[in-house]
Chain A
Amino acid sequence: MTTLALQRVEPLATASAGQPFRTASGGLIDRNRPRDFTFDGKRLTGFHGDTLASALLANGVRLVARSFKYHRPRGILSAGSEEPNALVELRSGARREPNTRATMAELYEGLEATSQNRWPSLALDALSVNALLSPVFAAGFYYKTFMWPASLWEKLYEPMIRRAAGLGRAADAPDPDTYDHAHAHCDVLVIGGGPAGLSAALAAGRSGARVILVDEDFATGGRLLAERREIGGESGADWAARAVAELESMPDVRILSRTTLFGVYDHGAYGAVERVSDHLAVPAAHAPRQRLWRIVARRAVLAAGAIERPHVFGGNDRPGVMLAGAVRTYLNRYGVLPGRRIAVFTSSDDGWRTAADVLEAGGGLAAVIDTRTDVPPALRRMAEAAGARVVTGGYVAGTKGHLGLSAIQVVDGYHSTETIACDCLAMANGWNPVVHLDSHLSRRPVWDEAIHAFVPGTLPSGMRAAGAAAGRFTLAECLESGARAGAEAATACGFTATAETTPRTDPESIDHTPLWRVPKPRGKAFVDFQNDVAASDVELAHREGFRAVELLKRYTTLGMATDQGKTSNLAGLSIMAELTGKDIPSVGTTVFRPPFTPVAIGAFAGHHRGKEFRATRHVPSHAWAEENACVFVETGLWLRPAYFPRPGETDWLDTVVREVETVRARVGICDVTTLGKIDIQGRDALAFIERVCANPFATLPVGKARYAVLLREDGFVMDDGTVARMGETHYVMTASTANAARVMQHLEFCRQWLWPELDVQLASVSEQWAQYAVAGPRARDTLRRIIDPGFDISNEAFPFLACADITVGGGIPARLFRISFSGELAYELAVPAAYGDAAWRALMQAGLPYGITAYGSEALSVMRIEKGHAAGAEINGQTTARDLGLGGMLAKKKDYVGRLMKERPALTDPDRPILAGFRPVDPSDRVRAGAHFLRLDAAPSLEADEGVMTSVAYSPSLRTWIGIGLIRRGAERHGERVRAYDPVRGADIEVEICSPVFVDPKEEKLRV
């Protein structure tokens, strides 16, 4: 049942109270600072300096998780970020975080951890029957088992698989924490804080270079904290502490600990995530939970170390089976003996160090099984002297135990089998340099036969590899290659740096002959623990022809998910190599991509969430609008007033109708600041405008404005606006709200690239001027009350399309344009933006006697549709000036952007859809934008499609819905009836084609 094998074992007499597997002394934990935590609700205690994994092991908890597909019991394999098994849910409620590696979670007071992917409990998991169905869940099961009938996929198969297989649950409440972004720049970036990284940082830092050292651990030192090693007579951990202290004393060196460098990008750009507050229950007030760093470095030293390889044998996933280096980490760094009787399964001298460390700590060494026949006699003597069984030239074939390891089945060199009782098995099958980061720019690692591992190939520009990451595994090599790489990197940045002689280290042997999988495993031999991929799945993939590495990965899911195959890739490749009779380098590897370890979406989003997802721009009348119950609409980044409901108006249409009727009968003002406004000055300003606008401007006098249409070079309309001539060589161009930035970029393109010889100066004044449309029969009366006396705006003195620099409010500079979008007598008044709020209030007050209204973008849109003015729905990148009824105004005798291409046959085809107006034959019918036009007798088909309704509005002037749209030969068909067919909304009504100008077609109102 739920009893763990280990809990039956009596605690060591010397163990810390309540932590039966804690050694009496040693380790880098602070035994004076106990930390209470819970796992699946059970209260446990660890120490400050523990990880969740080390604290669980100290408490004798070996069963930590259930596996992805088969729900097999899993424990803790490693002591680092490569952990595939020990994934837990951390915290609760809104802060619940799934798939956290227990090996990376720093213990804090009150930590809550929950096992995941199990029901009803970790020890009794109903879905472990999946293990009995393992033939069903073998490689490719997605593609085979659930093929037919397809209709069941969404309803049955997917929910079933989702429930049966999977990892943790995300929090279902908004994340209460904040996330931060930061940029950093340095000469030398050092990735990894082990012996190589620290040496590199010291060598570079001492030269005066700006150095950033990034280390994913919360304590800097890497394997120095995990091994019993000496450097220059002091312990590795002491040496690391001194190195850190020296680096911290350098003003231009920054150590980012708890920080994972997750991505390498072009030209020296790197991404890293700092877990600022993950080691706290709740971040300190105003402190972010995590910080995403974008680092730019001139040079980088990759010292990310190496990851130990498991052996592939039967039942190698049973809790208690661990990496040999991890056993040393738990022992030496955390003071935890992960078992009472520890066995070592090794293919290298390295594994014997685990045996030695266990003995040194007074632990029980059950056995050492070395796959090699030649083992240094001193090592054998050491183990045998301690009473351990030593097997050479043999292997572990299988394991026994219910929810944790109780014994191993060992095959010796003579093929005889024995069972050895043990509760922990340490696997030492060699190490793989961390080649992920140097592979991020599509560079493949290369095979090094001497160390039986992939090492970095061609490194990204500016990057050097050092230490174990470069395949230099001994401590002496780490220190030496690190210092050299750091010095070289600093020298390349122009500093005078030398790699000082490295201190002496104690001798070590790393002799190694890997065994990629045992000859005859007993039970499922796992290659990829996280994805439940066994050696038999690789064989299946081979049989079925999925032999290329990329296919092997997709077919079996080997190397996918949160750990990206850190402990499994090479095992999978080596088995495929054996099956195909190739060597490992010819099988190759898959490509590693960022991120190195999972990064929370919140860290990428940073400040940009909720309302701050993107920036919001406010118009100058925003404060007044807010005071007056305005309803806003998002237009690009702008928050524009849409309409201004008054008490008693219950429907938006009531409000919009009232706003339109007020403008048509009296006066209204509308904030049109969102238009792009560009000052064009210079000797050649006119020549420039002539080339960017399709209509002529040579005759435009000072003090006059003109409608302007801009084409793209391919002949379609880019945008429209106005050009006003404020002075001899000074023009102001407006662009539509949506296209303002695009038009500015286009004008700069024309100025800098197409016609650099023109003397013209462009300045955006969009933000300088608040601009308001003042429209309606009483517009002039209203304006007169706010502009300074002395400027005559009578129709004679300031006719339609006049413009001038004026003053308002007693000397405030302003610009006045007599232009109209509504079809009424109208002006646009521009005042300096700081006076925008005042000018708006002044206009509202000045218009009070005339019944003035504020109107928003909705009423503006209704009035422009009533006038048949093309806007965004019509200027959609597919329409020509001719399509929009603007063909007649285009210049004949000048070159301008789009001039030639608009003459292409397809763009001058008389059958093209042309702008027209539409009114329903039955006035009670509502027309809808998006409806397609069909002849009355035509059946709906693509061939019969005559065009599309682009904009519609309820017209208060006509008291019916109206629309404008594009229909074949639209200009010639006024009076004809067609269908407006809208199958999406089930509408099919008869409409009459008419002039797009519904109101005041003779334009009498404009010119009074």
Chain B
Amino acid sequence: MRIRCPYCGERDNGEFSYLGDAAPQRPDGLEASAQAMHDYVYLRDNPAGTIRELWYHAAGCRSWLVVTRDTRTHAIEAVEPARDVARARRSGEAA
């Protein structure tokens, strides 16, 4: 598989390490219920189809990335810097 890092360009997947589903959002550890934190840590969807997932460009620019991938075909629809995605989400929450 080849992943197009938004900074480094297309690289072999051997340069990346995989984390998993990018959907779970970490709740605030002071305010969240134990259940909410449990769901964040353990609950993952495993769709046969498109999923947004976190990858780390370990052998490159050390960016965390959100990769939108079809698990059936490996077709990659989009690769975004995770920091940009996280910031956009923050500003979305603030708005």
Contacts and interface: CB of A to CB of B under 8 A. Distances in A.
30 contacts: A266-B2, A267-B2, A268-B2, A269-B1, A269-B12, A296-B2, A296-B10, A713-B26, A713-B37, A714-B41, A714-B42, A741-B58, A745-B56, A745-B58, A749-B56, A752-B63, A752-B83, A752-B86, A753-B54, A754-B26, A756-B83, A756-B86, A756-B87, A756-B90, A895-B28, A895-B29, A899-B30, A900-B29, A901-B38, A904-B38
Nearest to A898: B29
Given A296-B2, A461-B75, A756-B87, 10 more contacts: A265-B1, A266-B1, A268-B2, A741-B58, A749-B56, A752-B64, A754-B86, A756-B83, A894-B30, A896-B29
A748 interface: yes
A749 B58 CA distance: 11
A713 B86 contact: no
Contacts of B63: 752
Interface string B34-68: 10011011100000000000101010001110000
A904 B34 contact: yes
Interface string A756-778: 11000000000000000000000
Interface in A239-285: 265-269
A68 to B, nearest CB: 36
Q: Which size class do A's interface residues fall under? A: 20 to 34
Contacts of B41: 713-714, 901
B34 A903 contact: yes
A904 B33 CA distance: 12
B71 interface: no
A895 B30 contact: yes
Contacts, number: 74
B74 A266 contact: yes
Contacts of B38: 901, 904
B86 to A, nearest CB: 4
Contacts of A757: 87, 90
Contacts of A745: 17, 56, 58, 62
Contact of A267 (B26, B30, B64, B76): B76
Contacts of B81: 752
Interface string B17-37: 101000000101110101001
Given A267-B76, A896-B29, A749 B64 contact: yes
B64 A748 contact: yes
Given A748-B62, A900-B29, A900-B37, A753 B82 contact: yes
A900 B76 contact: no
A903 B35 CA distance: 12
A529 B12 CA distance: 39
B82 to A, nearest CB: 5
A928 B70 CA distance: 50
B86 A267 contact: no
Contacts of A269: 1-2, 12
Contacts of B34: 900-901, 903-904
Contacts of B2: 266-269, 296
> Which among A267, A757, A900 has the greatest number of chain B C-beta atoms within 10 A?
A900
B56 to A, nearest CB: 6
A554 B34 CA distance: 51
> Which among B29, B40, B56, B76 has the greatest number of chain A C-beta atoms within 10 A?
B29
A545 B34 CA distance: 55
A352 to B, nearest CB: 45
Nearest to B65: A752
Given A269-B2, A752-B82, A752-B86, A899 B29 contact: yes
Contacts of A266: 1-2, 74
Nearest to B64: A752
Contacts of A294: 12
A267 B10 CA distance: 10
A753 B1 contact: no
Q: Which size class do B's interface residues fall under? A: 20 to 34
> Which among A748, A754, A756, A894 has the greatest number of chain B C-beta atoms within 10 A?
A756
Which 9 A-B pairs give the minimum distances between C-beta atoms?
A895-B29, A267-B2, A752-B83, A900-B37, A756-B86, A899-B29, A266-B1, A752-B64, A895-B30
Nearest to A713: B41
Nearest to B31: A895
A586 B25 CA distance: 48
B87 A901 contact: no
A710 to B, nearest CB: 14
Contacts of A265: 1
A294 B14 CA distance: 13
Given A266-B1, A753-B82, A748 B56 contact: yes
Nearest to A461: B75
Interface string A427-470: 00000000000000000000000000000000001000000000
A904 B62 CA distance: 33
A296 B4 CA distance: 13
B5 to A, nearest CB: 13
Nearest to A764: B62
Interface string A708-752: 000001100000000000000000000000000100110011011
A754 B1 CA distance: 27
A615 B10 CA distance: 25
B1 A267 contact: yes
Contacts of A754: 26, 86
Given A267-B76, A269-B2, A900 B83 contact: no
> Which among A461, A748, A752, A897 has the greatest number of chain B C-beta atoms within 10 A?
A752
A749 B17 CA distance: 12
B37 A901 contact: yes
Contacts of A741: 58
Nearest to A746: B56
B68 to A, nearest CB: 14
Nearest to B22: A753
Contacts of A753: 54, 64, 82-83, 86
Contacts of A752: 63-64, 81-83, 86
A749 B54 CA distance: 10
Nearest to B34: A900
Nearest to B82: A753
> Which among B37, B38, B76 has the greatest number of chain A C-beta atoms within 10 A?
B37
B44 to A, nearest CB: 13
Contacts of B10: 267, 296
B38 to A, nearest CB: 7
Contacts of B32: 900
Nearest to A749: B64
A752 B26 CA distance: 13
A269 B19 CA distance: 23
Nearest to A893: B30
Contacts of B42: 714
Interface string A467-501: 00000000000000000000000000000000000
A900 B29 CA distance: 6
A693 to B, nearest CB: 13
A297 to B, nearest CB: 11
Nearest to A762: B62
A299 to B, nearest CB: 14
A896 B37 CA distance: 12
Contacts of B87: 756-757
A470 to B, nearest CB: 22
Contacts of B64: 748-749, 752-753
Nearest to B81: A752
Contacts of A267: 1-2, 10, 74, 76
B26 to A, nearest CB: 6
A749 B57 CA distance: 11
A263 to B, nearest CB: 13
> Which among A741, A753, A899 has the greatest number of chain B C-beta atoms within 10 A?
A753
Contacts of A904: 34, 38
A900 B10 CA distance: 39
Contacts of B37: 713, 900-901
A903 B87 CA distance: 30
A894 B31 CA distance: 11
A754 B90 CA distance: 10
A296 B3 CA distance: 12
